[in-house]
Structure 1
């Protein structure tokens, strides 16, 4: 009897991964050797090898997905993370719901970025392109070796596979799992391209502004994806975990935030290196650190050293592999940096109030914030390893340092767009910014008076800072279009990259409003609710009408049917649930939300107290949607920046292809 594809898929996927490792090894060696010896044949092999690498990884990913869809429980990973009752959309997302599959998703993203570099960097000097692809191949070798030797998703359970699977963690049976990990990994892995450009620049010795111009759109896109990925994780935790929070300074949350902070510094530093040929060594270092922090996040999540709702709790031997690879990448990169970077000299000066100075301040503040978050994240692990006891570092520590530094960073943001390169007079700043300052101050001081009965000074400060950023941007736009014949003509003259900066900075202001006002004005009630009981939260009244049983596709649930009234008028019905999943017996809270632009109503069921009474959590969360709206604005700004015609046009041969390898253009 012939074997069908369901039976063959795991072996074919395994074989595809082995071929991918062979191709990534060739991608690492052949273009690098070709660039060293000047062989165009070997250098031109890079794009073809990158295409093959992507094809076989994608095929392996398809094979694993096929096994999930067709309930092949002879595959250990499928049996551990799926069940025959699981809805089809969750069977697909379960592919990356555990350690092995999420690692395969990581490698698929890496293969996709590598193929994109091969396609869109054809106009680069051939030896530069070859070295960039070679570095990407080296990174791929590390992760493919990791998945094949320690975390194989195609391992079989033979000769007696289970009749059904253990089920996917109920926390992950949600649309959040479908979209959050792929987007987050696109950001994480995207910074490998910036890392590859930085290492290639060090290898070639071309530490000029050209490499910054080539890598800048890649850094911007990776940063945009990571911004959306972090926001999606926050949104998912907010409505799925049932406690109503959107950020808790969890170590795994911090693991994604660390590369975002340094990535933000990187995209600003790249702008200075491209425009003014300054900060060249520093920009290289930022590119190395950004990707290194992405690898550190991978280590923290997969090593077993953390206990977190977000972490993959695996055996520490896997963590040793990642730690070794991390040390190899960081150590090798910094060694190469130490050998190459000191020869780079920047002879261009700039004044105290120049844009360069402000961007340098931006970099310093972001780096300090990153170090503060890194210390708070790693200190408990280090203390435990040194037998200093179990130490917990929570929100009070992070908020003590993070909030003032971010507030200072937002205050400085208003000056950056208005500053000139090289030098800017203090009089220019005063002329352009005194009105925004006054308007922002008035708005900040008045807002708490009109919003709530109690005056909150922190709310006034939050609104002032956000208004300052936003109104200063408006003032800068007005200043730039002042000589246009009409408003429309003036706006047309502004570049896409300028609009990208405006939207991204405005997104920071919007997120700041969301974070500040949600933290200050949230109203929470943890109460006992009986059928017929009324609960008042500010102007909203919640009435528990009845409790019912609900049958889902793979769960049964207790559902509370609650009517909500605003100032005595019926607003809507809300139906939170407490679910019990049939396969695993796990219970899960399904919150009910009434979302709005200025507030969310949030209701979650706790535990049953009597036959007609439950513990309930009722929240009013003002401006919480602004947190995620701001992140989307930042990501849209990133898209606009990459769409600028400077990046759409092919980069001409600014550096001769036949320049001898190792010749330093800065010497």
Structure 2
């Protein structure tokens, strides 16, 4: 009965979503319609969440009369993985996507978190329309509550590759980021429908500032979730499959990278809209692009057009429906943008040497890299669809085409934060860059000497990482120093802390990638029990193997001792698993984590050794500084979360306007601002031009 109730719940949710779309998009100045849209959004979230929980209950009970449960669960599957199996296939993963979308809409109903009531209503209306479309697609083509008659005695089990803690957390975080970008898209649609944001740039300056402050926290939350999801997926592929440690350029991995690059560009552009009122139309176009790429990722994972361990479906028919849905949503948004973009105005003007120009260059570089990823991902599919030869575009293309395009974006991260809004004297900028460049060179050389060797291939990455770190730390120091005539050191506002934390995370990430990509050392070893072999400054000894039965699989566990001279350093236990339901073998690696990198061991097949004794292949790898990759991602995500929690971005419109008025009053006592705006989040006096100290850095 609960299954039929879940099915009915989703159909009721379709009706509520259509009502929300109607009331929200047509709200105008009608306060009653705006209030009604908030109520509908909360009820919609409750209905969709109820449907998801009822499907989860069917998995918990192992109800194999439900076709979806029978396809992705087994009676011996541990309960934690049985609950996670809800998103282990096409139908459940799409339902989770919709549940998170409705949840975002419910969060947006909070007072003071979404700008004006009219803007809030239109955002909710857009999310309601998206929810209705996705629910209809789910129920008409991929009903997760479909019954099997007669019910099988046993299920087919969850893919063993998905039975991993990383994969339990990875998809929800990734979907949270994808769906959050749909929220940014909804803000763009609301702006295109709002006549108060169109016309004279000077008249609409304050309204655009309110819009950007309303959109930024939600975009930051989505970007942080997407960053964590991508990092967790990379970590899972590393420890489960032994992939490169930072990126494997798998088509489905690329599907998450493309919206992340666009979202990074959007975040920086929203700061320009907030501070200067410039790049308005560009921000809206980026928000539409983020949604388009998030839907493209959904299409790639569920259409069957790519072959990947991450893909959820191999049904091209449903993929065509998804493609049609994507074309409908993105095409409608672009048509609306084409008719309204000309009315938005150019916004504030800025000089060639300014922070706005730096952010615009950063946007161009990020989008160029995203386009290169898009080309390499889609070209083989398009060629195959046109009847051409089947080709594979792998890591060599992406590392040659994409990585060099991303280097300028990393280069811009160091000086970009120190640039002034509106105008920055080029001579001041050049003087300010000398000290970070010197510190980066000294630090990179010192690190190479400290490690005891210098890898020329890693040197550019080291210089780049320390360049960003030095620029970020010096910028933080400059912002903390007392202003002229004052003794007290300043405090950093939360948005500035967020920016500095994210940029420092980027530096740590680049450091990890440069070391892991150039210092990888791998060997396939052949060991019988009792054999010793030197590797990476250690002696590896296979001390024994043990067959261990588990709840739903049997594991052959090897014990490998690590000796340094006469001292036993550690014992690692890599495994070969065989799952009873599918007879599918899996390798579970063992990793020794050290401050300077990881020792990675994976147990291979049994063969006959040179002396006739049974032997096992053992893949051993040294991956230097690989943990810095995920540490950097965590810092970047933490920066996004800190920025999203900034009180300034959650102010009600009246409070935000009062802040701007107070800042303008402060300007009268400060003097020339060199193009800075009244609501620039600089420490001390918000928009005071920062004097240049003896090192050439702006304070």
Is the partner of 2:540 in helix, strand or coil? Answer: strand
Using the alignment, how far apart are the partners of 2:27 and 2:238 within structure 1? 51
> Which residue does the alignment assign to 2:302?
302
Using the alignment, how far apart are the partners of 1:389 and 1:398 within structure 2? 20
Using the alignment, how far apart are the partners of 1:565 and 1:104 within structure 2? 50
How far has the Cα of 1:417 moved from its partner? 1.1
Give the 3 Å change call, closer, same or farther, for CA 299–123 of structure 1 in structure 2. closer
How far has the Cα of 1:548 moved from its partner? 1.4
> Which residue does the alignment assign to 2:510?
512
Q: Spell out, residue by residue over 1:231-287, the C-alpha distance to the aligned partner (whole angstroms, 9 max, x if none).
A: 000001111124564421011000000000000000000000111010000100000
Query: Are 2:592 and 1:594 aligned?
Result: yes
Q: Does the CA-based 8 Å contact 2:541-2:561 persist in structure 1?
A: yes
Deviates more, 1:339-348 or 1:81-90: 339-348
> Which residue does the alignment assign to 1:163?
153
Q: Spell out, residue by residue over 1:185-212, the C-alpha distance to the aligned partner (whole angstroms, 9 max, x if none).
A: 1101001111001001101132533322
Query: Are 2:38 and 1:62 aligned?
Result: no
Give the 3 Å change call, closer, same or farther, for CA 351–40 of structure 1 in structure 2. closer
Gaps of 5+ in 1: 1-7, 656-667
How far has the Cα of 1:177 moved from its partner? 2.0
> Which residue does the alignment assign to 1:634?
636
Query: Are 2:8 and 1:15 aligned?
Result: yes
Structure 2 residue corresponding to 1:528, chosen from 510, 526, 545:
526
Query: Are 2:402 and 1:411 aligned?
Result: no
Deviates more, 1:596-605 or 1:300-309: 596-605
Using the alignment, how far apart are the partners of 1:251 and 1:299 within structure 2? 12
How far has the Cα of 1:34 moved from its partner? 3.4
Query: Are 2:430 and 1:430 aligned?
Result: yes
Using the alignment, how far apart are the partners of 1:123 and 1:572 within structure 2? 54
Using the alignment, how far apart are the partners of 1:564 and 1:122 within structure 2? 55
> Which residue does the alignment assign to 1:606?
604
Using the alignment, how far apart are the partners of 1:645 and 1:184 within structure 2? 26
Give the 3 Å change call, closer, same or farther, for CA 244–397 of structure 1 in structure 2. closer
Using the alignment, how far apart are the partners of 1:179 and 1:353 within structure 2? 43
> Which residue does the alignment assign to 1:4?
none
Deviates more, 1:309-318 or 1:626-635: 309-318
Q: 1:116-155 to 2 correspondence within 5 Å?
A: 116-121=107-112, 124-155=115-146
Using the alignment, how far apart are the partners of 1:183 and 1:39 within structure 2? 36
Deviates more, 1:583-592 or 1:560-569: 560-569
> Which residue does the alignment assign to 1:617?
619
Structure 2 residue corresponding to 1:540, chosen from 535, 538, 541:
538
> Which residue does the alignment assign to 2:163?
173
Deviates more, 1:222-231 or 1:91-100: 91-100
> Which residue does the alignment assign to 2:89?
98
Q: Does the CA-based 8 Å contact 1:97-1:177 persist in structure 2?
A: no
Give the 3 Å change call, closer, same or farther, for CA 32–92 of structure 1 in structure 2. same
Is the partner of 2:416 in helix, strand or coil? Answer: coil
Using the alignment, how far apart are the partners of 2:92 and 2:567 within structure 1? 49
> Which residue does the alignment assign to 2:247?
247
Is the partner of 2:108 in helix, strand or coil? Answer: helix
Give the 3 Å change call, closer, same or farther, for CA 73–487 of structure 1 in structure 2. farther
Gaps of 5+ in 2: 199-207, 658-699
Using the alignment, how far apart are the partners of 1:54 and 1:309 within structure 2? 31
Q: Does the CA-based 8 Å contact 2:526-2:617 persist in structure 1?
A: yes
Give the 3 Å change call, closer, same or farther, for CA 220–459 of structure 1 in structure 2. same
Give the 3 Å change call, closer, same or farther, for CA 28–607 of structure 1 in structure 2. same
Count of residue correspondences: 643
How far has the Cα of 1:301 moved from its partner? 0.8
> Which residue does the alignment assign to 2:27?
34
Give the 3 Å change call, closer, same or farther, for CA 246–464 of structure 1 in structure 2. closer
Using the alignment, how far apart are the partners of 1:561 and 1:262 within structure 2? 46
> Which residue does the alignment assign to 2:258?
258
Q: Does the CA-based 8 Å contact 2:499-2:639 persist in structure 1?
A: yes
Q: Spell out, residue by residue over 1:365-420, the C-alpha distance to the aligned partner (whole angstroms, 9 max, x if none).
A: 00111111100110001111112211111111111122222222211111111111
> Which residue does the alignment assign to 1:211?
211
Structure 2 residue corresponding to 1:581, chosen from 579, 582, 596:
579
Using the alignment, how far apart are the partners of 2:655 and 2:291 within structure 1? 27
> Which residue does the alignment assign to 2:35?
44
Q: 1:76-87 to 2 correspondence within 5 Å?
A: 76-87=67-78
CA RMSD of aligned residues (A): 1.9
Using the alignment, how far apart are the partners of 1:228 and 1:578 within structure 2? 29
How far has the Cα of 1:447 moved from its partner? 3.1
Q: Does the CA-based 8 Å contact 2:24-2:123 persist in structure 1?
A: no
Is the partner of 1:374 in helix, strand or coil? Answer: helix
Using the alignment, how far apart are the partners of 2:194 and 2:436 within structure 1? 47
Is the partner of 1:543 in helix, strand or coil? Answer: strand
How far has the Cα of 1:545 moved from its partner? 0.7
Give the 3 Å change call, closer, same or farther, for CA 575–446 of structure 1 in structure 2. same
Is the partner of 2:458 in helix, strand or coil? Answer: helix
Using the alignment, how far apart are the partners of 1:654 and 1:474 within structure 2? 30
Q: Does the CA-based 8 Å contact 1:31-1:44 persist in structure 2?
A: no
How far has the Cα of 1:487 moved from its partner? 12
Please report the TM-score for the alignment, with normalisation by the length of structure 2: 0.89
Q: 1:236-385 to 2 correspondence within 5 Å?
A: 236-243=236-243, 245-346=245-346, 348-385=348-385
Is the partner of 2:622 in helix, strand or coil? Answer: strand
Using the alignment, how far apart are the partners of 2:499 and 2:485 within structure 1? 23
How far has the Cα of 1:642 moved from its partner? 1.3
Structure 2 residue corresponding to 1:188, chosen from 174, 178, 187:
178
Query: Are 2:52 and 1:53 aligned?
Result: no
Give the 3 Å change call, closer, same or farther, for CA 125–447 of structure 1 in structure 2. closer
Using the alignment, how far apart are the partners of 2:638 and 2:244 within structure 1? 27
Is the partner of 1:490 in helix, strand or coil? Answer: coil
Give the 3 Å change call, closer, same or farther, for CA 620–21 of structure 1 in structure 2. same
Using the alignment, how far apart are the partners of 1:353 and 1:536 within structure 2? 56
Q: Does the CA-based 8 Å contact 1:444-1:462 persist in structure 2?
A: no
Q: Spell out, residue by residue over 1:431-485, the C-alpha distance to the aligned partner (whole angstroms, 9 max, x if none).
A: 33212211211222343344244x3212121111111111111111222222269
Q: Does the CA-based 8 Å contact 2:115-2:210 persist in structure 1?
A: no
Q: Spell out, residue by residue over 1:603-626, the C-alpha distance to the aligned partner (whole angstroms, 9 max, x if none).
A: 111111147311111111111111
